[in-house]
Amino acid sequence: MSSTPKLEDNLRAAILAEPDVVLDDKDLMQALVAANEQARGDNVIDLRGIAMQRLEARLDRLEDTHRSVIAAAYENLAGTNQVHRAILRLLEPVEFEDFLRTLGADVADILRVDSVTLVLETTVVQNDPAIDTLGGVLTIAEPGFIDRYLTIDRGGPARDVILREIHQPSRRIFGSQADQLRSEACLKLDLGAGRLPGMIVMAARDPRHFTPQLGTDLLAFFAGVFERSMRHWLS
């Protein structure tokens, strides 16, 4: 008994020469399996085929998870590099005024945020012309202002790092940009014994730039370095 091959000679020869190519082609293997099931008829149940389909579905989910983990790792690495660059730039100035201007300009650009403001509490709140020359990066407030600001829309005590949407834009902090900003990161600063606290507020126009679901480790690290620098300038 003999049969005539239905495949063209060159295609048949290519498959016989490299059968692994067929096995590695997912779409081709699914087509072959489907053709085999059709040839058997509807009254035959292929349990092995069902098990393979479930394994393929599980493998697809694992591959999706793997890609998500890799993407998150790359994003975290990029964020780490940004924070490190911002810290190095922040350590360069030798004058306090340049230090503050760097925070509001270069550091904001490196971190890709639209606004950075340093809030310092003091018992003597007055208009200082020198503050106006800093481009809005520094704001002076009365004692207790920072904790009140950190607990806006929150029932519990203030945390050291808070990420949230901006529902009540503060012109006192953001100035003329207030109406354009939609999310913020608030970093509470410990400036040392005997000193009132400070706060860095980073803000963005994108309402999803800072959300509570994001990690805060890098921002907490940035705040730790910044508050130590501030202790040096205030000493």
What dotted CATH number matches 94-234? Answer: 3.30.450.40
Categorize the per-residue pLDDT at 126 as very low, low, confident or very high, splitting at 50, 70 and 90.
low
What percentage of the chain reaches a pLDDT higher than 90?
A: 48
Q: Which residue has the tokens 């349990």?
A: 47
Please check the confidence at residue 49 and state whether its pLDDT lies above 70.
Answer: no
Assign 51 to helix, strand or coil: helix
* Residue 114: both structure tokens together: 């639209």
* Residue 51: both structure tokens together: 């098990």
- pTM for the whole thing? 0.70
- Rounded distance, CA 182 to CA 71, Å? 26
- Residue extents of the structural domains in the chain: 94-234
What percentage of the chain reaches a pLDDT higher than 70?
A: 84
What is the arithmetic mean of pLDDT over 117-141?
81
- Rounded distance, CA 185 to CA 163, Å? 5
What is the arithmetic mean of pLDDT over 48-59?
75
- 88-119 confidence digits (pLDDT tens): 999 999 999 999 999 999 999 999 999 999 99
Among 66-75, 95-104, 125-134, 168-177, the range scoring the smallest mean pLDDT is: 125-134
Please check the confidence at residue 1 and state whether its pLDDT lies above 60.
Answer: no
What is the arithmetic mean of pLDDT over 21-39?
72
Average pLDDT, the chain: 84
- pLDDT at residue 41, as a whole number: 60
What is the arithmetic mean of pLDDT over 179-203?
95
Q: Is 13 exposed, middle or buried (0-12, 13-18, 19+ CB in 10 A)?
A: exposed
Instruction: Determine the distance from the C-alpha atom of residue 32 to the mean position of all C-alpha atoms in its chain, rounded to a whole number.
Output: 44
